[in-house]
Structure 1
Amino acid sequence: MPPIDHLVTSGTFSLDGGTWDVDNNVWIVGDDREVLVIDAPHDADAIAAAIGDRRLVAVVCTHGHDDHVRKAPELADRFGAPILLHPGEAPLWEMTHPDRKPDRELADGDTVSAGGVELRVLHTPGHSPGSCSLHAPELGTVFTGDTLFQGGPGATGRSYSSFDTIIDSIRGRLLTLPGDTVVRTGHGDSTAIGDELPHLEEWIARGH
């Protein structure tokens, strides 16, 4: 199997009194024996089917918005795996799962690995306080959650978000990666670090 599997699940995202239909990327990283799942949005059965008979090492959540963590406990419990989340996401996580805490904290500089693939945790706040990206140097890829998309930064118009902070995160933590690094996002198409570099100054000038 390839070291990165990808599926898209559909559902809703709710925050600040609004609800929107969304499609979420789910990334499964590892080999034919064991894997990590990056984000567990809307459909535990579909994600479990993609995992198959492999061992799930952990459910790694890029951030705490409900469309990224809704099925994390169900998936983790089904496979006996821990949920990993940055502690800065506690207020958002608790909106969806008030009676269940993540099992382990993510911190900047941590590494998580499965099937010989190592992911380095980059704390990239702004979309939310504890948003994290996961860099896999050997695969030439970074999983950015909702921090960086094709064409610009993630949304910062809702609670717990900051435009200035997300720009600092992208400039300081992501655009410093090699230009050919593939950016695998929380929603939509993948891109590359080098392709996003020209967009950043435009976003800063527009201030949104």
Structure 2
Amino acid sequence: MKWKQLPLGPLQTNGYILYNDNGSGVIIDPGGNDKQLLSWLKEKDITILAILLTHAHFDHIGAVDTVRTTFNAPVYLHKKEAHWLTDPQLNGSGLFQGIEPISTKKADHLISAEGPLEIGGIEFQIFETPGHSPGSVSFYLPEESIVFSGDVLFRGGVGRTDLPGGDEDTLINSIHNKMLSLPDETIVANGHGPLTTIGEEKETNPFINGFGW
């Protein structure tokens, strides 16, 4: 499997494209820049089989409908945010000046529990990691030693909790119980900023090693 990080949308949210040698794959959090994203996919001859959303904040969903329509690709989202794609107040785009309200069609598949998910030969383990938002999930690939964490855990930081449904204690519990239980060498491919590893965050992240809480 190969994967590519692409900064997308108004906040340059990290979107991730995972694909096999046959050119089929999935995209995680297509935040925007529809034309550039489709151009890159066409150039690489990649067919998107599914869209996986770590959560439904506006900066992670801007290109959802374009990708869905182009590839007839179903959208996966946690059931606790089932209504967020269609509601700018819930997905946050209606809360900030200068941000155009974003509304997309509903998700095709609602995630209701943790467990395995296989798409196009790519095998994920879904973790429920709420706190930044009530339906935040992380997609873990044990064979690749990488977790796509959305806005749960960053290099030197954690997700904000002041948006609808956010909760600080819940977020820290998710990080300690799910993220930090992964092997130290696990790459954390997050929603904003550079990659990191579980081991690095255990050592240096002030929000989770006892100094920030």
Residue 80 of structure 2 corresponds to: 88
Q: Deviations over 1:86-123 (max 9, x none)?
A: 01113432324656210001233333334532111111
**Distance (whole Å) between structure 2 residues aligned to residue 90 and residue 186 of structure 1:** 20
5+ long unaligned stretches in structure 2: 89-101
**Distance (whole Å) between structure 2 residues aligned to residue 163 and residue 204 of structure 1:** 15
Note the C-alpha offset of 1:51.
2.4
| SS across alignment from 1:81 | coil
Instruction: Identify, as 1 or 2, the structure richer in helix.
Output: 1
Q: Deviations over 1:139-187 (max 9, x none)?
A: 1100000011001211112221000000000000110000000000111
**Distance (whole Å) between structure 1 residues aligned to residue 58 and residue 72 of structure 2:** 21
Say whether the 8 Å CA contact 2:86–2:103 is kept in structure 1. Answer: yes
| SS across alignment from 1:175 | helix
* Correspondence for 1:153 among 155, 158, 168: 158
Note the C-alpha offset of 1:138.
0.8
**Distance (whole Å) between structure 1 residues aligned to residue 196 and residue 12 of structure 2:** 17
**Distance (whole Å) between structure 2 residues aligned to residue 132 and residue 85 of structure 1:** 8
- 1:89–1:203: structure 2 CA closer, same or farther, 3 Å change rule? farther
1:34 aligns to 2:24 (yes or no): yes
1:107 alignment partner AA: S
**Distance (whole Å) between structure 1 residues aligned to residue 145 and residue 183 of structure 2:** 8
| SS across alignment from 2:87 | helix
Residue 57 of structure 1 corresponds to: 49
Q: Deviations over 1:39-73 (max 9, x none)?
A: 11111222222322322110101101011012211
Aligned length: 196
The normalised TM-score by structure 2 is 0.84
Note the C-alpha offset of 1:4.
0.7
5+ long unaligned stretches in structure 1: 12-21
- Percentage of identical aligned residues: 32
- 1:70–1:5: structure 2 CA closer, same or farther, 3 Å change rule? same
